[in-house]
Structure 1
């Protein structure tokens, strides 16, 4: 088992701290115990920190406002969401001025618009240059997925496959005590499996931007300005695996998806530390 300690002890072992949001600082019911105190402790000691979240549904301003309203005092500069990776990804693929379908909120779509992309509805008659899955917050989710699937297939038929981009690869999120909901990664996986059935070896897959992708972690390390950091997360296969990939320490926090039993049986993905919570 990883070394078990308190947050107050952990923060003295590293120059900076990276927090996951859902399952560590908050869940759908509100702030988790000790979250606000943990952030205030870092602020009192002028210790750098970032909230590195796969939630691509909110701008940094809205995300910070929500956390502050729940008693977790952060500023927009403390937020590094997977949504913030969308614009650079479109630019890297030469699609900054392209036509892009974005499954998610208006804030999700704005991440694409910020680099000059035109956000369009999925249409088999006019396939887009890229599809971005950012969040499950679409009013007509099933209809949107149906239209995206049909659009991709029509584009394939004409030999111009759109780039598929997944901002939030999380399958589920903690909505409360022993309560969970599906999120964006689950719907990307549905599309991938449907495309595999229909296109076999020609089926495209999504490029992942959020944790555990090194894209997200390397952006966090560049923003925080040091590699002497620890990533606090509640999920082994995103938070902990991603930290392991880029060679930084990690702490599993048992207030979200992962249980103590999960940690005890983990083999390939093993956190450096274990916290029962932030209190």
Structure 2
């Protein structure tokens, strides 16, 4: 049997919500990746830690992760700034020491104040970012400094639920300046291109839990993707996904990597077994299938209805007509 992992020479793996949630690995993730034949490349929008720190954390959780297998948005931001600015230019860093180190590694001079006005501002996630940091960025940008954000994720997974991500802080600076940053991380191309270059892959697969970053990032650089429903994006998000956020493969978990590709492939044509229709703002799902016996019908049904649902347009709620359809919709909305 050819498994999904066997069809790709590298897996470009997201971290939060895909491999771990808070301090713990997601059930089965460590064992599944041990069985994968592909090169593992860890690609994260989180700019708060250095690649070595990320790799060490992954190893502590049981993953196979040499330092060079990690690509972060702080690295991508550093390389982007180096292309935009001459060597020795000053960059106001809003973020952690790890981000500051990437600015230095790019041949630029990190600073923490807007006086004198720096050549650029780079903004990455840090739990310690406060008003004073945002104010310095605002002063610099208003005075003409270029602005790069490591990523624009508005939220990030924490042990207590979704917390504010770097994008929330970026939005504050945007509101104060009227400016728009250049974004280095997913879904923009710089981070994905860095990962492709580092991996040397010719047949990569992006694996992640977010439509708006992981999947959109894969589509941005023309790479197939697998969305796993273990993190941020929900069934409703998938059903309402806009074109540039639609995955190639869809699965409940990373176990799809060890199954045949066809098992998780999102079909291109509507299903004969599952039909959908719109009644006002209600999406109605019907099927000829029997009641679910093995517990997996919900994800199979989700894949099968997507071509028809995406062709229909918007809706507010979903209902199952009866029997298996009602069971599936109940699982989708649980």
Q: Which residue of 2 aligns with 1:39?
A: 33
Q: Which has the higher contact order (CA 8 A, sep 6+)?
A: 1
The Cα RMSD (Å) is: 1.8
Conserved in 1, the CA contact under 8 Å of 2:121 and 2:140? no
Structure of larger gyration radius:
2
1: CA distance, partners of 2:93 / 2:22 = 23
Segments of 5+ residues of structure 1 without an aligned counterpart are: 1-7, 156-160, 197-203
1: CA distance, partners of 2:13 / 2:35 = 14
**Residue number among 80, 84, 90 corresponding to 1:93 in the alignment:** 84
Conserved in 1, the CA contact under 8 Å of 2:82 and 2:107? no
**Most deviating of 9-18 and 20-29:** 9-18
Conserved in 2, the CA contact under 8 Å of 1:165 and 1:208? yes
Deviations 1:35-62 (A, max 9, x none): 21122112xx3x2120111011111111
Question: Which portions of structure 1, spanning 4 or more consecutive aligned residues, are displaced by more than 6 angstroms?
Answer: none
Conserved in 2, the CA contact under 8 Å of 1:96 and 1:117? yes
Q: Within 5 Å, give how 1:1-279 maps onto structure 2.
A: 9-42=3-36, 45=37, 47-123=38-114, 125-138=115-128, 140-153=129-142, 155=143, 161-176=144-159, 179-196=161-178, 204-268=179-243, 269-279=245-255
TM-score, normalising length: structure 1: 0.85
- What is the CA-CA distance between 1:150 and the residue it aligns to? 2.7
| 1:9–1:263 distance in 2 versus 1, CA, 3 Å | farther
Deviations 1:61-120 (A, max 9, x none): 111001111222211111011111122222211243111111111111100011232221
1: CA distance, partners of 2:19 / 2:241 = 23
Conserved in 2, the CA contact under 8 Å of 1:33 and 1:277? no
Conserved in 2, the CA contact under 8 Å of 1:108 and 1:135? no
Deviations 1:102-144 (A, max 9, x none): 1111111100011232221223x41111110111233x52221
- What is the CA-CA distance between 1:17 and the residue it aligns to? 1.0
TM-score, normalising length: structure 2: 0.72
1: CA distance, partners of 2:251 / 2:10 = 17
